[in-house]
């Protein structure tokens, strides 16, 4: 139309069920949007929970031995900033269903002093070639096992 190119594609008849990998991509995108909302809130209050992204991949989490190595690394690294009370790394479900928080690492500290040091110390660090993003995570959501925000 005019000097613009118009691309035309055939529409699929009826509704199609999304493939599991498409559901995972959609879920991941929704998680990232919610995560960015949390990050961009002005004046975010420090919590005792720090959420790390861009640290682990789904494939790494499938392997039991690699998962245990990652857990140990996170305990050691996270423990440098304060007293850790819990480390949660959601794993992929065996049947391929979407898992909230997949690819994130949650570090729960005894107090906000430790979590604040961890957030500052780990944000922007390289882990496995990726730049880590560290943000505070709502304690109530963490305690409820809601890792999807």
Of 137, 49, 46, 54, the closest CA to residue 103 belongs to 54
SS3 of 106-127: EEEECCHHHHHHHHHHHCCCEE
| Mean pLDDT over the full length of the chain | 82
83 contact partners, CB below 8 Å, separation of at least 6: 109, 110, 111, 114
pLDDT at position 37, please? 58
pLDDT at position 51, please? 95
Structure tokens at 39: 């990050």
Over residues 48-61, the pLDDT tens digits come to 999 999 888 888 89
Handedness of CA 95, 142, 106, 103 (dihedral sign): positive
pLDDT at position 1, please? 56
- Tell which phi-psi region holds residue 4, choosing left (phi > 0), alpha (psi between -120 and 50) or beta: beta
Of 27, 49, 31, 47, the closest CA to residue 98 belongs to 27
Over residues 102-138, the pLDDT tens digits come to 889 999 999 999 999 999 999 988 877 888 899 999 9
CB neighbourhood size of 26 (10 A)? 12
Would you say the pTM of this structure is higher than 0.95?
no
pLDDT band of residue 142 (cuts 50, 70, 90) is very high
Over residues 49-104, the pLDDT tens digits come to 999 998 888 888 989 999 999 999 999 999 999 999 999 999 988 887 888 898 89
Classified as helix, coil or strand, 39 is helix
């Amino acid at each position: 139309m005019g000097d613009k190119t118009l691309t035309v594609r055939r529409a699929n008849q009826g509704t199609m069920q999304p493939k599991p990998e498409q559901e995972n991509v959609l879920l991941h995108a929704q998680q990232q949007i919610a995560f960015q909302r949390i990050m961009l809130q002005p004046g975010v209050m420090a919590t005792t929970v720090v959420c790390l992204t861009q640290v682990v991949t789904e494939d790494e989490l499938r392997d039991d031995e690699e998962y245990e190595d990652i857990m140990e690394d996170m305990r050691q690294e996270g423990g440098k900033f304060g007293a850790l009370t819990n480390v949660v790394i959601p794993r992929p479900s065996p049947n391929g269903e979407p898992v909230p928080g997949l690819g994130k690492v949650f570090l729960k500290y005894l107090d906000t002093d430790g979590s604040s040091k961890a957030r500052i110390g780990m944000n922007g660090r390289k882990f496995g070639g990726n730049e880590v993003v560290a943000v505070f995570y709502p304690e109530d959501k963490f305690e409820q096992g809601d890792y999807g925000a």
